[in-house]
Amino acid sequence: MKERIEIFEVGPRDGLQNEKREIPVAEKVALVDCLSRAGFSRIECASFVSPKWVPQMAGSAQVLAGIARAPGVRYAALTPNMRGYDDALAARADEIAVFASASEGFSKANLNATVADSVDRFVPILEAARHIDLPVRGYISCVTDCPFDGPTDPGAVAALADRLFGMGCYEISLGDTIGQGTPDSIARMLSAVRDVVPATRLAGHYHDTAGRALDNIDASLVMGVRVFDAAVGGLGGCPYAPGASGNVATEAVAAHLERLGYDTGLDMDVVNEAAAMARAMREG
Ligand code: HMG
Ligand code: MG
């Protein structure tokens, strides 16, 4: 039997948060509904952040209210603080994600906080989530390179991963936010992180700015990572990371993994349909 690799679909969040065009809620709902038929277990489709910081995500509550929830699919939302947590809960997100940076420069730009202060804000979120058994994922940005501070020390990524995992995050998603990682730098980083968090609780979240995301996925597979984040149509980027381009495209990752002999459990016809929708949304 083929080994299963999971693709965590982040297109409706990471993909659409950086689009210039104001995308109507109905279009986002249609994209998520299409993705719900593709076989994903987890789809990130909302972000309860300040609309002043990321206006593209302002309709997140309406998106979660409008989608047809498929059985067995968890619909995820980003929550930077308790306000976001309360809004995510009210909108019935099935799981949430906190997000921090391994580098101070990006932390300041993205969250207006030091790394330590941003993590302190997550403490009450993790506590509240634990009481109601709500799964919380932890993102770490700039795991190999920061657009402000240059190369990231793998030890800083490991320390933050250890902290987030210890606080109760069930999975740590490692973000190559600006797509400058190489198979070598990704392997060095993973080798440090694996010492504190089991590889089975890690995910690779690689942006494809330099066209190396698939190579970085290969390096991560060797290190035991079995979950990869991707966005249909290769949409996305972070508005606070200069030079960040799209997430690696879901359809490219799925085809690559199938070629390598893995099973993704995805219906490629539906994935390709969603990718075409996502690309059309970018063009308007
Ligand atoms: P701040 O300006 O320091 O804090 O922002 P504030 O408390 O003064 O809030 C500013 C305003 O936002 C206030 O409104 C708050 O009420 C409001 P005002 O009084 O000015 O009218 N506010 C909120 N509104 C709605 N929902 C909330 C919320 N919180 C405050 N939850 C803050 C601090 C954290 C809010 C801000 O920095 C922020 O929202 N940052 C989010 C940036 C972001 O979403 N970036 C993209 C996602 S991360 C990413 O893409 C990376 C990832 O993909 C992994 C990778 O690739 O590396 C995950
Ligand atoms: Mg990202």
| Residue with CA nearest ligand 1 atom 33 | 111
- pLDDT at position 8 over 80: yes
Residue 111 CA, ligand 1 centroid: distance in Å = 6
Residue 99: inside a domain: yes
Residue 107: inside a domain: yes
Q: Is 86 in the pocket of ligand 1 (CB under 6 A)?
A: no
- pLDDT at position 242 over 80: no
Domain limits for position 20: 6-282
Residue 177 CA, ligand 2 centroid: distance in Å = 6
- pLDDT at position 252 over 80: yes
| Residue with CA nearest ligand 1 atom 34 | 111
pLDDT tier at 236 (50, 70, 90 boundaries)?
confident
Cα-trace Rg, the chain: 17
Total structural domains within the chain: 1
- pLDDT at position 15 over 70: yes
Q: Is 180 in the pocket of ligand 1 (CB under 6 A)?
A: no
**CB-side exposure of 20: number of CA atoms within 13 Å?**
4
- Phi, psi torsion values for 184, nearest 5 degrees: -70, -50
Q: What is the DSSP letter of 198?
A: -
Map tokens 């930077």 to a residue: 80
Instruction: Find the ligand nearest to 106 CA.
Output: 1
For position 231, which CATH number holds? 3.20.20.70
- Per-residue burial over 113-149, b if 16 or more Cβ lie within 10 Å, else e, is bebeebbebbeebbebbeeeebbbbbbbbbbbbbbbb
Closest CA to 195 of 222, 152, 159: 159
Beta bridge partners of 151: 145
Q: Is 154 in the pocket of ligand 1 (CB under 6 A)?
A: no
Residue 188: inside a domain: yes
How far, rounded to the nearest angstrom, does the alpha carbon of residue 202 sit from its chain's CA centroid? 12
Residue 212 CA, ligand 2 centroid: distance in Å = 15
Residue 241: inside a domain: yes
pLDDT 10s digits, 87-105: 999 999 999 999 999 999 9
* Bridge pairing between strands 136-141 and 42-47: unpaired
| Residue with CA nearest ligand 1 atom 23 | 50
Q: Is 164 in the pocket of ligand 1 (CB under 6 A)?
A: no
Residue 205: inside a domain: yes
Residue 1: inside a domain: no
* Alpha-helix runs per DSSP H in 132-267: 154-167, 183-193, 213-222, 250-259
Ligand 1 atom with the shortest distance to the CA of 113: 3
Instruction: Find the ligand nearest to 238 CA.
Output: 1
Ligand 1 atom with the shortest distance to the CA of 237: 50
Ligand 1 atom with the shortest distance to the CA of 173: 54
pLDDT 10s digits, 186-198: 999 999 999 999 9
Residue 238 CA, ligand 2 centroid: distance in Å = 6
* Ligand 1 probe mutation, 10, 42, 44, 49, most atoms within 8 A of CB: 49
| Interface confidence (ipTM) of the complex | 0.98
* C-alpha to C-alpha distance for 5 and 260, rounded to whole angstroms: 11
Average pLDDT over residues 155-164: 98
Residue 105: inside a domain: yes
3-state class (DSSP) for residue 229: strand
Q: What is the DSSP letter of 282?
A: H
- pLDDT at position 211 over 90: yes
pLDDT tier at 245 (50, 70, 90 boundaries)?
confident
- As given in the structure block, the two tokens for residue 207 are 């942006």
Q: Which residues have C-beta under 5 Å from ligand 2, the single-atom ion?
A: 14
- Phi, psi torsion values for 219, nearest 5 degrees: -65, -35
Residue 230: inside a domain: yes
Average pLDDT over residues 6-34: 95
